[in-house]
Amino acid sequence: MMNKLLYIFIVVQFSLQGLAQQLPNFVNQDANSTFANPSFVTYSNTTDILLAHKLTQQSFSQRPMTNFGHFKTTFRGKHGFGVSMIQTQRGLFKEFNGYLNYGYAVKLSGYWKLGFGVAVGLKNQRLDLSESIYFQNEDPLLSSSGLTSYTYDGQFGGYLSSSKFLFHFSILQLFGNRFNDNVSNLNQHFVSGLEYKISLPKNMSFTPMASINYVQKGLMQYNLGGQFEFKNTIGIGVMAKSNFALSPNMYVKFKSIKLSYAYDLISLNEINQGFSHEISLKWSKQKYNTKDKSITKEEALERVLELIDTYFDVQTSDIDLLERKKLLKDLRVEINELLPYLDDTDREKIEKDLNTKKKKSK
């Protein structure tokens, strides 16, 4: 009996502390950015539903597993609202977290946008002793045992983006507070990343990306990778994590549905080795800021290109200065109202058209 009580004490004191240091880490960019940065609720003017599952295969029976669900929508393209739920299991430990997100975005010049966001929620973790090795011996002390603790939590994040560039940062487990059991506490996680999309011939693009994850106690992880995309419908990439894993990944997009898969090759050391599967499904619907909901994406693109032509014509016209300024302002307003109808590929076409006309106008 004394050995079993000692076993419980050791597991609780050390393992709960270790559990509080870890956060799920997704390879899939949709799942990882949504989970690790509350400001991304305004990154796109869409209503999204995202489901993700990650299962790690390692040399023990209770394999680490993470389930993640997220819903978000925007209002007037500036305000974003979201709800997130995360369920994780690591050996005898089970954790369930829920968050409410709010984000606000400001349009800068051109395609540049600055966004910030916060999330608040509750974390609940449970040590399920009934699944320990002692339960196999039908021990009455452990057969119904379980230790549950909970605490509040918060997140803060932001991003700066254009049609090709993205910089993001966030602080997870913001308050660094303790669980109500006074045994484990939440260490702050600092995450930042950088991406730049490079256009290639034949409707292809390549996006190199790098990020840093830093934990308050001094642990740091570097991630470096990239992704090739074709027509914004097929993507293939790889992510390398320092001292951790090599992660090939891919996605296929059909209309509003995006299916992603990633595969982690884990090699921490000779003992802790294995691999993990990660799959996610995302449904996304574009939101509109204009009153006319019947306009299609193709019609919006054609109209924007026409407005750009008119814009440059007005700039070089001989009409009165005040009248010219008013016309240019009206054209800019109409262009901005049509931009939410367009995807990244359309925006790249517009940016190329603008650059060409700027060169000709000089």
Q: What is the pLDDT of residues 24-49, one digit of tens each?
A: 778 777 888 888 899 999 998 889 99
Look at residue 292 and tell me if it is in a domain: no
Instruction: Kindly provide the b/e burial profile for residues 62-101, where b requires at least 16 CB atoms within 10 angstroms of the residue's own CB.
Output: eebbbbbebbbbbeebbebebbbebbbbbbbbbbbbbbeb
pTM to 2 decimal places? 0.73
- Give the domain-ending residue among 285, 307, 339: 285
Residues 129 and 187 reside in one and the same domain:
yes
- Give the domain-ending residue among 285, 318, 353: 285
How high is the pLDDT of residue 75?
86
The answer to whether residue 23 scores a pLDDT higher than 80 is: no
The answer to whether residue 1 scores a pLDDT higher than 70 is: no
Residues 85 and 165 reside in one and the same domain:
yes
Residues 227 and 154 reside in one and the same domain:
yes
Look at residue 211 and tell me if it is in a domain: yes
Instruction: Provide the domain limits for residue 349.
Output: 297-361
Any alpha helices (H) in 26-81, and if so which ranges?
29-36
Q: Which of 122, 27, 22 has the alpha carbon at shortest distance from 64? A: 22
Residues 321 and 235 reside in one and the same domain:
no
**Average pLDDT, rounded, for the chain:** 79
Q: Provide the 8-state DSSP code for 130.
A: G
The one-letter amino acid at 136: Q
How high is the pLDDT of residue 259?
95
How far CA 255 is from CA of 44, 182, 234, 260, 283, in Å, comes to: 16, 49, 12, 14, 9
How high is the pLDDT of residue 86?
94
CATH code, 273: 2.40.160.40
How high is the pLDDT of residue 168?
96
Q: How confident is the model at residue 315 (pLDDT cuts 50, 70, 90)?
A: confident
How high is the pLDDT of residue 28?
78
Per-residue pLDDT reduced to its tens digit, 215-248: 877 788 889 999 999 877 899 999 888 866 788 9
- Give the domain-ending residue among 232, 261, 285: 285
